[in-house]
Amino acid sequence: MRLSVNGEEREIEAGATIERLLEDLGLRARRVAVEVNREVVTRDAWPCTELRERDSVEIVQFVGGG
Amino acid sequence: MRESTDTFELAGRTYRSRLIVGTGKYADFEQTRRAVEICGAEIVTVAVRRVNITDAGKENLLDYLSPDRYTILPNTAGCYTAEDAVRTCRLARDAGVGKLVKLEVIGDPATLFPDVPATIEAAKTLVAEGFDVLPYITDDVVACLRLQDVGCKAVMPLAAPIGSGLGIRNRYNLKIILEKLSVPVIVDAGVGTASDAAVAMEMGCTAVLMNTAIAGARDPLRMAKAMRLGVEAGREAFLAGRIEKRLYATASSPLSDLID
């Protein structure tokens, strides 16, 4: 199925969870936060939250800023 | 002198350093880490941004600034609506550095002045969701009072536009805010050099927040030290209580027993 991840189109197997997506991206162990369709999905819900076709996912982290 | 007891409380935690610094615009993470260490800050601001999913990089800012050692203060820089600022704060909280946030809702790209109604609206929502909100705001006492009323833990009026280095351009407005507010007043934005930081502290501000003034200096590590000293000097002068200004001279040496 197709997703939008940080504004880019991405293919992932149907029924994949957020945890699976983060694993694919090498981000599972990182300090990131995730939004799906503009709602935060908390860390504890990553393993059980299945993504759906055309979901819009945002993955963010902390960077330098003032 | 009660130097050892000069601390302040912010959202339930006690701090000694009255210098809060941003972490943007440094050459690299190592320089950021050293500047923060030298300036003595205990609270550091960070931004929340998309991970580059094609090249996430190996290192992260927080590998250099441990949340065990520093209070990490995520900001909502770049947000132009209350909704985006609230979303950003929710994401920041889920990234696991606590519930303290620096709220910025920008209203104009040239001045980076805040959108006051949107800032108040976002603050209200965030307080209701349990955040400890520190809003960046204009030097308007009414706006500051509204933010205090909705439950913000401090107010952070600008002293001049963000990154401008123009110094404290609004002493009288800041003085009114200092007189009328009961929550901490933290000058956020405008400081260009150490004397500016000292001025803000001499006026009685609880703390000063800066980024560009250190990171953009020719020698950021040296400026980090200068800012630490400037903030400390200004704070000590505030506590010491300056002399009254007079139009005419008053001699410092005795007027008696002069030689003939």
Can you tell me the distance from the alpha carbon of B120 to that of A19, in angstroms, rounded to the nearest whole number?
36
Non-local CB neighbours of B231 within 8 Å, separated by 6+ positions:
B17, B18, B19, B197, B198, B201, B207, B208
Averaged pLDDT, A29-55: 94
Structure confidence at residue B59 (pLDDT): 84
Query: Of B47, B53, B95, which has the smallest distance from its Cβ to A8's Cβ?
Result: B53
Query: Which of B61, B91, B94 lies closest to A64 in CB terms?
Result: B61
Residue B4's pLDDT is what? 63
What pLDDT was estimated at residue B40? Answer: 98
* List B25, B58, B99, B102, catalytic entry: B102
**A10/B contact by beta carbon, under 8 A:** yes
Chain B residues in contact with A26 (beta carbon < 8 A): 56
Q: What integer pLDDT is reported at residue B143 of this predicted model? A: 98
**What is the complex's ipTM, to 2 decimals?**
0.93
Is pTM beyond 0.95 here? no
How many CB contacts within 8 angstroms connect chain A with chain B?
Answer: 109
A-chain residues within 8 Å CB-CB of B131?
Answer: none
In angstroms, the Cα distances linking B233 to B2, B4, B54, B59 are: 15, 15, 47, 36
Among this protein's residues, is B124 annotated catalytic?
no
